[in-house]
């Protein structure tokens, strides 16, 4: 075969933008100094046709849509995020900060699957077999059906996969894998993109579930072009603070389930253990009788989650007051403070505001607005809220409390954890009967909520 002439391109290592010359600022993602020179062959080596999933056109009405078999990971929290278990032929990308526990999670999952009699191949490009064995001994995850392969050449790995015929494959990590016919270094945009496509063809042609670990950038996104997230079937992020023992597994893309689910784990001496009742965990250290603390009922997928929101307001020492939030968006806190000032009459222009969601959870849904607003008002007035009150509701710009979804599950979770009163939008009172044992206070405006929660 004649040697093909290669040419040089400059590729942004953050978004994959290609340029014929070096650029200081990427036109695609606006990052500075992100271009690296890569040698790209003009005609790439042809992938053998037997690696492509073959098929023929057929009527959509004639396609069999039988129940897709799923394999349990051995962890209910992991199964919840995946949509009920592992689907054969799926390609799953797991991302997270270094040292957060991605390798531990996949090693424990490999052991759980191997215990079910399934053959699992764990491919490591960053550690040796002895290092994996030492960690497996510490985590007590030794199984005969779990095989370790230290390798980075993806063509060699494919040969071993076809020889071993495993049911599941774990790749740790995609940034260490490379294809010999691509001249750029492992971890570059070209290598990561082509290696992911290569693994996708293996997964679909052999109907084999493959999990790949992806490192994240400083901004918290998967390293490499965003094309990776479009190629895989599911993208999971493993989040958590290093000084906290709790870890959250969240799906941002899932072709086989909901993208709103999350699983909660706790890092212990023997590895990760799942948290079955996260609401009780997040409220375990909640102080009582302290101003600025309120409990909200949020929905994460199909699971109701009760968490504490803390607010602290102090007179500012600067020209412009500070607005800082952890677990909720800064812009949302600023908007709610504007509503409080305009509709309730709280003078907050000279107050620094700090809002925090206890436990390191991130809340994105608007149903937690009422809890945030009440905690801010409680801190401003230095007046505590009743410790057994829970708040549900979205706040509009005119101060009205808007209805939210799945109110029944939220109220039942509050009742199960021993709360006495539940503040919710008046629009949610239609079409259901509140359970006995908890007092329902339906509010129409933010002023009504403040009257009952802080003055009543």
> Average pLDDT for consecutive 10-residue bins of the chain (456 residues)?
64 80 86 80 48 69 75 92 92 88 93 94 93 92 93 94 94 90 81 90 92 75 66 89 80 86 87 87 84 93 89 90 92 95 92 90 91 96 93 95 94 92 93 90 94 81
Residues 6+ apart with CB under 8 A from 258: 83, 251, 301, 302
pLDDT attached to residue 329 = 93
pTM of the model: 0.76
Find out whether 213 and 171 touch, Cβ atoms under 8 Å: yes
pLDDT attached to residue 48 = 47
Structural tokens at position 450: 């403040």
Residue 180 is labelled as binding a ligand: no
- Work out the number of other CB atoms within 10 angstroms of the CB of residue 420: 14
- Residue matched to tokens 């063809």: 201
pLDDT attached to residue 1 = 45
CA angle centred on 211, ends 174 and 38, rounded to 5°: 20
Beta bridge partners of 95: 214, 237
Structural tokens at position 182: 């691509």
Residue 293 is labelled as binding a ligand: no
Domain boundaries, the chain: 6-41, 70-276, 281-455
Find out whether 223 and 214 touch, Cβ atoms under 8 Å: yes
Residue 96 is labelled as binding a ligand: yes
Cis bond leading into 173, ω under 30°? yes
> Can you state the angle between helices 330-339 and 369-381, rounded to 10 degrees?
60
Residue 97 is labelled as binding a ligand: yes
Structural tokens at position 73: 């990971």
Out of 3.40.50.300, 3.40.50.2300, 3.20.20.150, 3.40.50.920, the CATH code matching 70-276 is 3.40.50.300
| Half-sphere exposure in the Cβ direction for 215 (13 Å, CA) | 19
What is the rounded distance in angstroms from the CA atom of residue 211 to the CA atom of residue 123? 10
pLDDT attached to residue 222 = 61
Residue 425 is labelled as binding a ligand: no
What is the rounded distance in angstroms from the CA atom of residue 355 to the CA atom of residue 312? 7
Asked if the domains at 70-276 and 281-455 fall in one CATH topology, the answer is no
Buried b (16+ CB within 10 A) or exposed e, 268-301: eeebbebbeebbeebbeebeeeebbbbbbbbbbb
- Collapse the DSSP code of 79 into the 3-class scheme (helix H, G, I; strand E, B; otherwise coil) and give the result: helix
pLDDT attached to residue 242 = 66
Structural tokens at position 206: 């052999």
Residue 103 is labelled as binding a ligand: yes
Structural tokens at position 351: 């107050």
Q: What totals of helices (H) and strands (E) does the chain contain, helices first?
A: 11, 23
- Give me the DSSP letters along 91-147: EEEEEE-TTSSHHHHHHHHHHHHHHTT--EEEEESSS-HHHHHHHHHHHT---TTEE
Residues 6+ apart with CB under 8 A from 63: none
What is the rounded distance in angstroms from the CA atom of residue 304 to the CA atom of residue 298? 6
Residue 166 is labelled as binding a ligand: no
Of 220, 211, 215, 212, whose CA–CA distance to 241 is shortest?
Answer: 220
Beta bridge partners of 234: 92, 254
Residue 98 is labelled as binding a ligand: yes
The CATH code that applies to domain 281-455 is: 3.30.230.10
Strands 120-124 and 6-12: unpaired
Of 382, 329, 383, whose CA–CA distance to 356 is shortest?
Answer: 329
Task: Give Dmax over CA atoms of the chain in angstroms.
Answer: 86
């Amino acid at each position: 075969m004649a040697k093909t002439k290669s040419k040089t391109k400059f590729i942004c290592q953050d978004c994959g933008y290609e340029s014929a010359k070096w650029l200081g600022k990427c036109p695609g993602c606006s990052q500075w100094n992100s271009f690296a020179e890569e040698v790209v062959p003009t005609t790439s080596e042809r992938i053998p046709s037997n690696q492509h999933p073959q098929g023929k056109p057929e009527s959509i009405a004639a396609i069999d849509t039988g129940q897709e078999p799923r394999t349990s990971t051995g962890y209910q929290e992991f199964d919840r995020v995946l949509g009920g278990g592992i689907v054969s032929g799926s390609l799953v990308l797991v991302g997270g900060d270094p040292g957060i526990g991605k390798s531990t999670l996949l090693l424990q999952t490999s052991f759980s699957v191997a215990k079910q009699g399934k053959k699992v191949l764990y491919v490591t490009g960053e550690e040796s077999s002895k290092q994996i064995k030492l960690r497996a001994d510490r985590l007590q995850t030794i199984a005969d059906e779990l095989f370790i392969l230290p390798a980075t050449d993806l063509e060699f790995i494919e040969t071993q996969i076809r020889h071993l015929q495993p049911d599941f494959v774990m790749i740790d990590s995609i940034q260490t894998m490379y294809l010999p016919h691509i001249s750029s270094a492992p971890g570059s945009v070209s290598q990561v993109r082509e290696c992911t496509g290569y693994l996708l063809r293996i997964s679909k042609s052999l109907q084999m579930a493959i999990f790949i670990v992806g490192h994240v950038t400083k901004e918290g996104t998967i390293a490499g072009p965003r094309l990776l997230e479009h190629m895989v079937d599911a993208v999971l992020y493993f989040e958590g603070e290093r000084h906290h023992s709790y870890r959250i597994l969240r799906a941002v893309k899932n072709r086989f389930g909901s993208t709103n689910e999350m699983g909660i784990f706790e890092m212990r001496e023997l590895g990760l253990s799942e948290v079955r009742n996260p609401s009780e965990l997040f409220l375990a250290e909640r102080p009582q009788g302290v101003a600025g603390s309120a409990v909200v009922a949020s929905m994460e997928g199909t699971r109701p989650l009760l968490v504490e929101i803390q607010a602290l307001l102090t007179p500012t020492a600067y020209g412009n007051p500070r607005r800082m939030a952890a677990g909720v968006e800064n812009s949302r806190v600023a908007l709610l403070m504007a509503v409080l000032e305009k509709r309730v009459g709280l003078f907050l222009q000279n107050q620094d505001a700090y809002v925090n969601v206890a436990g390191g959870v991130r809340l994105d849904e608007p149903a937690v607005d009422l809890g945030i607003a009440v905690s801010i008002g409680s801190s401003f007035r230095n007046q505590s809220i009743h410790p057994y009150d829970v708040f549900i509701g979205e706040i509009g710009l005119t101060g009205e409390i808007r209805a939210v979804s799945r109110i029944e599950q939220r109220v039942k979770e509050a009742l199960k954890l021993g709360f006495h009163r539940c503040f919710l939008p008046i629009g949610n009172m239609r079409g259901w009967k509140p359970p006995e044992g908890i007092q329902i206070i339906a509010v129409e405006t933010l002023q009504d909520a403040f009257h009952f929660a802080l003055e009543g």
